[in-house]
A and B are shown apart, each in its own frame.
Chain A
């Protein structure tokens, strides 16, 4: 009787374990398939020219996506330099002062903003920047991406700063520090590794967005760094090439996808490394 019971228990345990294992596989397998597929398809079309040349005229084989790679960095860079400081400040406000109605409103709008489809954000930037200027531009694209980055940074900052225990804040105040110095130099500075991780995740999400760029930065077959003219970006370039009828372009689209994945994975990896190296956290290590 007792033996049977033990066996039954072990089987239940095994079954549970196996279910969790299956769920994990169901997540990992598609991810690896995507990466593997892009690797195989993209690697063959990847060469030095891809990074150093702009597109050849239609019909000619060769050329590259230098303009799109640089364009992506420019758009994301501008978007980040607006959205990241603002996001961290808003997140700090929510975590340190966020009790009243304004905080509740900020929290609500951040959540709503996270849920808005990115194409809608693109339309918003289109109406706000492209229509009045009568021109697609880098700035319009940057605005759209900054709206995508902003809520992610706000919420991750809030959550990370909330991990700082109350007694750390009190210790700062007990040294006779004014509240703002305590927040800035002890709470925020002490959480920097966590904050950087949140920021990098937000940036890597924005770097892969296509929809909000379609009618803001639009895309460009030529190299441009102008802020008020259309500019190329990797996702849009991939999209344009992928739906084109030319074999060479389609191959390059795969190569572009590979480069984009490498950039995003690289950013994620960097954020992991920072997290691991700087685990001065709050008992997380113990």
Chain B
């Protein structure tokens, strides 16, 4: 694979340890602009760990250590010289559990990132909040109650609120760590629908336990087992015609 203009993120030989435990083993992958890439694999295969390195949030886990290269805009963002705050402005993240900020209204939850970057004008914030809530397919449900606490929404709405919050700081890349595993099928369907819309503006990398979800929404899929990248390719190839025996066993439910 050669680096083309369309590559937004390139991972070279990424290794992650928790203390002595080697959680991610020499993974190299690259991600194209405006695509959705899924990472699947059995529990404990290092897929969340891998994802968390991509915006250096892994540093929040005591004992975690990452080596290798993650190239974003020509710069190795794993380097100690790079400020993680700057990395995270460009690479946002949505978490497994919906986590609106406590004690904050729906409106404040969406614009808090902008507010704390120094944007104060109410009408600018309002405009932005509406745009982001619309992108997150939540606007119609909350437009009359923007001052209610974010925690008052249902689980699925909370997760879309979190997506809107991440979009508000306009990151070109959005990481999603099992964003629907705490949600019911209807809320899941809504978020999947919204992701194919989001793709027009951002590059999405999503970890999922749900193989059908990966098959439905992702352009590319990577399959991890025990920290190794077993197979990577177009989703349709991985799910219909896997090259590796392990991949075939996993997607047909023989192990995992």
Residues of A that sit less than 8 Å from B by CB = 164-178, 181, 185-186, 189-193, 278, 280-282
Whole-angstrom CA separation of A172 from B169 in the bound complex? 12
Please state if B89 and A176 are interface contacts (CB–CB under 8 Å).
yes
B-chain residues with CB within 8 Å of residue A174 when the two chains form the complex: 55, 57, 88, 92-93, 95, 166
Please state if B99 and A193 are interface contacts (CB–CB under 8 Å).
no
B-chain residues with CB within 8 Å of residue A169 when the two chains form the complex: 60
Residue of A at shortest CB range from B113? A175
Other CB < 8 Å A-B pairs besides A193-B103, A281-B102, 9 of them?
Answer: A167-B99, A171-B101, A174-B55, A175-B113, A178-B85, A189-B103, A191-B103, A280-B102, A282-B102
Contacts A/B (CB < 8 Å), 29 sampled? A164-B102, A167-B95, A169-B60, A170-B60, A173-B57, A173-B60, A173-B84, A173-B85, A174-B57, A175-B113, A175-B116, A175-B169, A176-B85, A176-B86, A176-B171, A177-B116, A178-B85, A181-B116, A185-B112, A185-B116, A190-B101, A190-B102, A190-B103, A193-B103, A280-B103, A280-B151, A280-B152, A281-B102, A282-B102
B242: Cβ under 8 A from any A Cβ: no
Whole-angstrom CA separation of A282 from B166 in the bound complex? 20
Chain B interface residue count, CB cutoff 8 Å, equals: 31
Chain A CB count within 10 A is highest, among B90, B95, B103, B152, for B103
Whole-angstrom CA separation of A171 from B164 in the bound complex? 13
Whole-angstrom CA separation of A173 from B101 in the bound complex? 12
**Which residue of B60, B86, B112, B171 contacts A186 across the interface (Cβ within 8 Å)?**
B112
Residue of B at shortest CB range from A186? B101
B104: Cβ under 8 A from any A Cβ: yes
A24 to chain B, nearest CB (A): 32
Residue of B at shortest CB range from A189? B103
Residue of A at shortest CB range from B117? A176
B172: Cβ under 8 A from any A Cβ: no
Please state if B113 and A171 are interface contacts (CB–CB under 8 Å).
no
Whole-angstrom CA separation of A168 from B169 in the bound complex? 17
Interface residues of chain A: helix, strand, loop or mixed (majority)? helix
Whole-angstrom CA separation of A167 from B104 in the bound complex? 16
Question: Contacts A175-B169, A176-B113, A186-B112; is A168 near B92 (CB within 8 Å)?
Answer: no
Please state if A175 and B95 are interface contacts (CB–CB under 8 Å).
no
B-chain residues with CB within 8 Å of residue A168 when the two chains form the complex: 99, 101-102
Whole-angstrom CA separation of A185 from B104 in the bound complex? 10
Please state if A176 and B169 are interface contacts (CB–CB under 8 Å).
yes
**Which residue of A170, A178, A181, A192 contacts B95 across the interface (Cβ within 8 Å)?**
A170
Whole-angstrom CA separation of A280 from B105 in the bound complex? 10
Residue of B at shortest CB range from A181? B116
Please state if B103 and A175 are interface contacts (CB–CB under 8 Å).
no
B-chain residues with CB within 8 Å of residue A164 when the two chains form the complex: 102
B149: Cβ under 8 A from any A Cβ: yes
B199: Cβ under 8 A from any A Cβ: no
Chain A CB count within 10 A is highest, among B57, B89, B99, for B99
B-chain residues with CB within 8 Å of residue A186 when the two chains form the complex: 101, 112
Whole-angstrom CA separation of A176 from B89 in the bound complex? 4
A242 to chain B, nearest CB (A): 44
User: For chain B residues 70-120, which have a beta carbon within 8 Å of chain A?
Assistant: 84-90, 92-93, 95-97, 99, 101-104, 112-113, 116
Question: Contacts A185-B112, A185-B116; is A176 near B88 (CB within 8 Å)?
Answer: yes
Please state if A175 and B165 are interface contacts (CB–CB under 8 Å).
yes
Whole-angstrom CA separation of A45 from B95 in the bound complex? 62
B162: Cβ under 8 A from any A Cβ: yes
Whole-angstrom CA separation of A266 from B101 in the bound complex? 30
A-chain residues with CB within 8 Å of residue B88 when the two chains form the complex: 173-176
Please state if B166 and A175 are interface contacts (CB–CB under 8 Å).
yes
Give the top 10 A-B pairs by smallest Cβ distance, nearest first. Answer: A176-B89, A174-B93, A190-B102, A190-B103, A175-B113, A176-B88, A280-B149, A280-B103, A171-B99, A280-B151
**Which residue of A165, A176, A178 contacts B99 across the interface (Cβ within 8 Å)?**
A165
Whole-angstrom CA separation of A228 from B112 in the bound complex? 46
Please state if B57 and A192 are interface contacts (CB–CB under 8 Å).
no
Residue of B at shortest CB range from A175? B113
Whole-angstrom CA separation of A166 from B169 in the bound complex? 21
Whole-angstrom CA separation of A282 from B116 in the bound complex? 23
Please state if A167 and B102 are interface contacts (CB–CB under 8 Å).
no
A-chain residues with CB within 8 Å of residue B166 when the two chains form the complex: 174-175
A181 to chain B, nearest CB (A): 5
B-chain residues with CB within 8 Å of residue A165 when the two chains form the complex: 99
Whole-angstrom CA separation of A190 from B84 in the bound complex? 24
Question: Contacts A176-B86, A176-B89, A191-B103; is A171 near B95 (CB within 8 Å)?
Answer: yes
A-chain residues with CB within 8 Å of residue B89 when the two chains form the complex: 175-176
User: For chain B residues 223-245, which have a beta carbon within 8 Å of chain A?
Assistant: none
A177 to chain B, nearest CB (A): 6
Please state if B57 and A170 are interface contacts (CB–CB under 8 Å).
yes
